[in-house]
Amino acid sequence: MSLDLPPAVDIREVGLRDGLQLERPIGLDAKLAIIAALVATGVRRIEATAFVSPRAVPAMADCDQVAAQLHRWPHVLWSALVASPNGARRALDAGFTELEYVVSAADGHSLANVGRTSDDALALTAPIAELVHQRGGHCEVIVAVAWDCPFDGPTPPARTVEIARRATELGADRLALGDTIGTTTPRRVVDLVQAVRSAAGLDVGVHFHDTRGTGQANVLAAVQAGVTQIDASVGGLGGCPFAPGASGNIATEELVYMLQESGVNTGIDLDAVLVAAGLVEQAVGHPLASSLHRAGGRPKPLGRVGLHLP
Amino acid sequence: MSLDLPPAVDIREVGLRDGLQLERPIGLDAKLAIIAALVATGVRRIEATAFVSPRAVPAMADCDQVAAQLHRWPHVLWSALVASPNGARRALDAGFTELEYVVSAADGHSLANVGRTSDDALALTAPIAELVHQRGGHCEVIVAVAWDCPFDGPTPPARTVEIARRATELGADRLALGDTIGTTTPRRVVDLVQAVRSAAGLDVGVHFHDTRGTGQANVLAAVQAGVTQIDASVGGLGGCPFAPGASGNIATEELVYMLQESGVNTGIDLDAVLVAAGLVEQAVGHPLASSLHRAGGRPKPLGRVGLHLP
């Protein structure tokens, strides 16, 4: 038996959006320093911000100011998250062409998150995709609570598949599955990825939270099932490490370490991610969840000076 | 593609030994309460203690007192770690028949750990195995720093294979590979497990530390390669969560969750592990590393009362 892994994967850094959205807003200068550090890691895709209500998500209130700076790094594929056609218009006007739109697969989460049923949220895929396509861009639909909903319990796989299939019909150019509360596990990952890909006829990305220590195992299962689009957050940012049950995305540095050491190219420099994580930790003012951020990569050998114990 | 997972695995709980050995000694009553809670999880194999120098490892100084109580749970396969023939004699006199003996695959770690070269430590396998076999027991050799040594750097796979093969010739009945500093990753796991199994002609267990967030991914790779013997520690106990770079074993509860939800039977009740982790946290007096201990298993659905936001 040999692990069947792809030669390379494409990681999207979501720390600036999913990572920071629950934090107290940080200053624009600090955010731009983090952005520069993330760009320096070599990551090719970065979700920069969200065009959503600044009352609901104060940490994203600077979305236009952030957008105005991104021309400095033209080789990165920048994207923004939106929650409505109005948000899509704002993001496009700010210069984004790549948008992520979240559709929850369960009404409980959809109502809590955007005040609409999942069917109503799904229907908005069409006008959002149309706006994006008018500007020559691409619209990715992220299916949230794809495996489990905190309000409704397990999401029937057929419902996630249906949402993904209809989103594609309504104009989505890409799909991703979100494990919003960090409950899924390798077998469920493989089963759902395969079912969605087969029904929607599109490649499927994955967006895991590492709430129960299974995030990297889920990635390993996903890449074995052919997934090459993976979201991750520098430092495992997201949620609050002091709140019971809260947790962030899988940590970019742990993902890069696990994959690169297994022969899967990510194009990302591990040491540079650790530099970025240091900036993030300083900016948010609390320890990050990432174990690798604390431990570092493979340590340099200590040598044996003074080691010859009796 | 479908994940090729075994129907069941055999987990060994090592929290009482590898987990507690770096902690301040806890009282015998607290330890016995933890043991009772671990037994209640349904785990079939528990490493109860170590017969080593009480000066070097004060937390294991109560090994004889612990041993004297284990007759209360006769259905559990109890084992003890030893570091020398003298320790093996003490363990056997205390009633153990299943012993673990650690041989480091690199001289740097071997000298630091037991004051002997790895060849000298390996040679002791013979008298230890002979003592154990005289009592009708079994001797497992755990190859430490099987992938990387903190002092010597990467361990040549051929060296780990050689140690394992010779240990088997010297009488070892079982083998396990220890990722002592938590650096290994899925591809390396599969490669080394297969090489060792093929050279030694024995099944190979795994002992991972979750220092860089890859512990569960390593397990997923190992079980796909046919491994069914896995060490884990309640609460991810081991090391100190506040010390840079220190980290414990993979957490039993995260392992059980990941495997059971993927259809792999462990015989262990997740809720009971969380009860045991609570006792451990109380006893050691600091937060445990396990994310699942904080988050709990799959949450009960919250329902939608009050959820219809504007």
Q: How far from B158 is each of A231, A303, B154, CA to CA, in Å?
A: 36, 21, 11
Which residues are CB-neighbours of B213 under 8 A, at least 6 positions away? A210, A215, A216, A236, A250, A251, A254, A257, A258, A290, A291, A292
ipTM of the complex: 0.94
> What is the rounded CA–CA span in Å between residue B191 and residue B196?
9
Residue of A nearest to B154 (CA): A301
Lowest mean pLDDT among A110-114, A280-284, B266-270: A110-114
Q: What is the pLDDT of residues A24-54, one digit of tens each?
A: 999 999 999 999 999 999 999 999 999 999 9
The answer to whether residue B139 is catalytic is no
Write phi, then psi, for A213 (nearest 5 degrees): 75, 10
Q: Which residues of B touch A219 (CB under 8 A)?
A: 217
- Is A301's pLDDT higher than 90? no
Residue B287 three-state SS: coil
Choose the closest CB to B295 out of A211, A296, A310: A211
* Adjacent-strand bridge partners of A45: A12, A77
Choose the closest CB to A3 out of B148, B187, B245: B187
- Is B177's pLDDT higher than 80? yes
Q: What is the pLDDT of residues B29-47, one digit of tens each?
A: 999 999 999 999 999 999 9
Q: Which residues of A touch B263 (CB under 8 A)?
A: 187
8 Å CB contact of A187 and B5:
yes
End-to-end CA distance of chain A: 44
8 Å CB contact of A244 and B307:
no
Choose the closest CB to A115 out of B3, B258, B309: B309
* Cβ atoms of A191 and A161 closer than 8 Å: no
How far off is chain B from A98, nearest CA to CA, in Å?
Answer: 28
Q: How far from B167 is each of A179, B124, B196, CA to CA, in Å?
A: 44, 9, 11
Domains of chain B: 10-295 (3.20.20.70)
B195 inside 8 A of chain A by CB: no
Q: What is the pLDDT of residues A123-181, one digit of tens each?
A: 999 999 999 999 999 999 999 999 999 899 999 999 999 999 999 999 999 999 999 99
Sorting pLDDT into bands at 50, 70 and 90, what band is A242?
A: very low
Q: What is the pLDDT of residues A80-136, one digit of tens each?
A: 999 999 999 999 999 999 999 999 999 999 998 899 999 999 999 999 999 999 999
